[in-house]
Amino acid sequence: MGIIVQKYGGSSVATAEHIKAVAGRVARTRRSGVDLVVTVSAMGKTTDNLLRLASEVSENPSPREIDQLLATGEEQSVALLAMALSDRGIEAVSLTGPQAGMRTTGRYGSGIISEVRPDRIKKLLGEGKVVIVAGFQGMNSLGDVMTLGRGGSDTTAVALAAALGASRCEIYTDVDGVYTADPRIVPAARRIPEISTAEMAEMAWRGAKVMHPRAVELAALYGIEVHVKSSFEEGPGTVIRGGDVLEHLETRETVAGIVHDLDVSRITLRGIRTGPGTLSKVFEPLAGRGISVDVIVESANRAGISDVAFTVRRGDYEEARELAGEVASSLGGEAEGELGLAKVSVVGTGMLNRPGYAARMFASLGRAGIPIRMVSTSEIQVTCVIPVERVEEAVRSLHRDFELEERDV
């Protein structure tokens, strides 16, 4: 049956009882005859608690030390899961990211997997062991542990699946699949049985919490089939497959779902002189500091003078605001910022092929009286930046107006 990689999130291993339940599920899968690699997040609120401790001892902790600290969370849960499996008669060995051959590059706190050297994992699988790998971490070229940023355990799982040639990657989480909208906001939201990696990647980038966007992209790149399932109940979950999931395209609406993101800040450079290379002057300093910029809007005021606005996460806001201020001054303008925003997105394959979806979205938000601050569109999504306090209303309006309740998903 080949190799299966399973990933269990923090809520799935929050307590000793949860860990024993995961061990039971892993043991059942193992007994069905597959070779198993399992990657696990830190227990429940461990990462948050460690970050709180860090903020108590230091006002400005070094990213390297934060990574040294946070990596211990996953190291604890893998050791505990290995123990719980041994008690069930399953031979299991836990490995830290560095031990498992996960090599990383990039910035501390948002490391990128550069390579997986799976020799030790393969050797252990060959000995009949279940291998438990600490998610969310790897080793950089200095020999230091590095974390992949929040949600990185998903990426660990997909990268392992790719490196090991696994037949599939199973993501166990606290929900039973990917939904057409957040069911806490839209009670009529439905589970999506099958979705393309392209759509899933957009939904993840635009705020769907069920799977980390980089993990979805990696799955798309290596053609890994991903199953998202609940770790608390049995069920079919959502299958994420490469390509357009052709068998579904003809029978279903183009819109897959509505996603939202509550962590949005906007920075605007007003009245700057523009010309060739202006945008790179604005965005290169941000890229140099590793700040992710999302929605970007440029609007020409008058000849040679423009406003440029973009969104960043709250955690990057101060730094981005300062950099933008410097650039704006050098271009004869000024920078201003706005917190308390959110994004709401309509995601679906081939939206540009069936025009009118953006207009339909604006109309829906307009009827609800929700102001739109910025707009961004791509082939498979339309995103509007709106005030954060209007998000729930917006998601419900869009879910209704795009007839996602009605649809036979």
- Interface ranges with a second copy (CB under 8 A): 16-17, 19-20, 23, 50, 53-54, 56-62, 64-66, 68-69, 71-73, 75-76, 78-84, 86-87, 93-94, 96, 99, 143-145
In the bound state with a second copy, the residue whose beta carbon lies nearer, of 83 and 296, is: 83
Task: Choose between 24 and 236: whose C-beta lies nearer to a second copy.
Answer: 24
**Strand ordering across the sheet containing 257-273:** 296-302, 305-312, 257-273, 334-347, 381-387, 374-378
Alpha carbon distance 73, 57 (integer Å): 18
Q: Which is nearer to a second copy, 1 or 57 (CB)?
A: 57
CB of 11 to a second copy, least distance (A): 17
| Tokens matching residue 112 | 């990128």
**Shortest Å, Cβ 93 to a second copy:** 8
Beta bridge partners of 179: 191
Helix-then-strand count for the chain, H and E: 12, 18
For the CB of residue 84, give the shortest distance to a second copy in the complex, in Å.
4
Judged by CB, which is closer to a second copy: 52, or 367?
52
Q: How far is the CB of 353 from a second copy (least distance, A)?
A: 51
Q: Which amino acid is present at 339?
A: L
- Please identify, using beta-carbon distances, which residue of 71 and 347 lies nearer to a second copy: 71
- Tell the smallest beta-carbon distance from residue 49 to a second copy (Å): 10
CB of 150 to a second copy, least distance (A): 18
Is-contact 381 208, C-beta < 8 A? no
Q: Could you tell me the CA-to-CA distances from 358 to 72, 95, 200, 346, 349 in Å, in that order?
A: 45, 47, 19, 9, 14
Measured distance CA(77)–CA(272) in Å, rounded? 51
Give 277's contacts (C-beta < 8 A, 6+ positions apart).
none
Element (H, E) at 83: helix 63-87
DSSP secondary structure string for all residues of 359-403: HHHHHHHHHTTPPP-EEEEETTEEEEEEEGGGHHHHHHHHHHHTT
CB-nearer residue toward a second copy: 72 or 254: 72
CB of 101 or CB of 213, closer to a second copy:
101
One-letter amino acid at 201 equals A
Residues whose CB falls within 8 Å of the CB of residue 276, separated by 6 or more in sequence, listed in order: none
Shortest distance in whole angstroms from residue 94 CB to a second copy: 5
Residue 37: CB minimum distance to a second copy, A: 16
E strand or H helix that includes residue 120: helix 119-126
- When the beta carbons of 86 and 114 are compared against a second copy, the nearer one is 86
Nearer to a second copy, 78 or 347 (CB): 78
Cα–Cα distance, 319 to 289 (Å, whole number)? 9
Rounded least distance, CB 161 to a second copy, Å: 23
In the sheet with 145-147, reading across from the earlier edge strand, the strands are 112-116, 102-105, 137-139, 145-147
